[in-house]
């Protein structure tokens, strides 16, 4: 699912979405048009804010999400 699809599905404006994320609306527009990539930290924030409907691996597929998850799981096991 894309940001635009999520916004349409839930009848949310880009302005409201941007405010919840604490970013300018122009940045959300740039993300949704592909002009700019979403930073990994914002992907995580979007994933949490949308309760997983927008997943990190969809928003930034080239980022090694699976590797990061494995590292986190392994570090928790060592605590």
pLDDT for res 74: 84
Phi first, then psi: give them for residue 70, nearest 5 degrees: -65, -40
Contacts of 52 (CB under 8 A, 6+ apart): none
**pLDDT tens per residue across span 1-27:** 999 999 999 999 999 999 999 999 999
Judge whether 23 and 46 are in contact, CB under 8 Å. Answer: no
| pLDDT over 90 at 69, yes or no | no
Tell me the two tokens of residue 49: 């804010």
Residue 2 near residue 31 (C-beta atoms within 8 A):
no
CATH classification for the domain delimited by 3-77, as one of 2.70.150.10, 1.10.260.40, 1.10.3470.10, 3.10.50.40 = 1.10.260.40
Is the pLDDT at 62 greater than 90? The verdict is yes
Q: Over the stretch 25-39, which tens digit does the pLDDT of each residue have?
A: 999 999 999 999 999
Between CA 77 and CA 73 the distance in angstroms is 6
**What pTM value is reported for the model?**
0.86
């Amino acid at each position: 699912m894309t940001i635009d699809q999520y916004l349409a599905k839930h009848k949310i404006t880009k302005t409201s979405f941007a405010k919840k994320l604490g970013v300018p609306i122009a940045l959300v527009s740039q993300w949704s048009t592909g002009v700019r990539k979403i930073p990994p930290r914002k992907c995580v924030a979007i994933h949490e804010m949308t309760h997983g409907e927008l997943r990190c691996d969809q928003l930034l597929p080239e980022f090694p999400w699976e590797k990061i998850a494995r590292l986190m799981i392994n570090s928790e096991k060592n605590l």
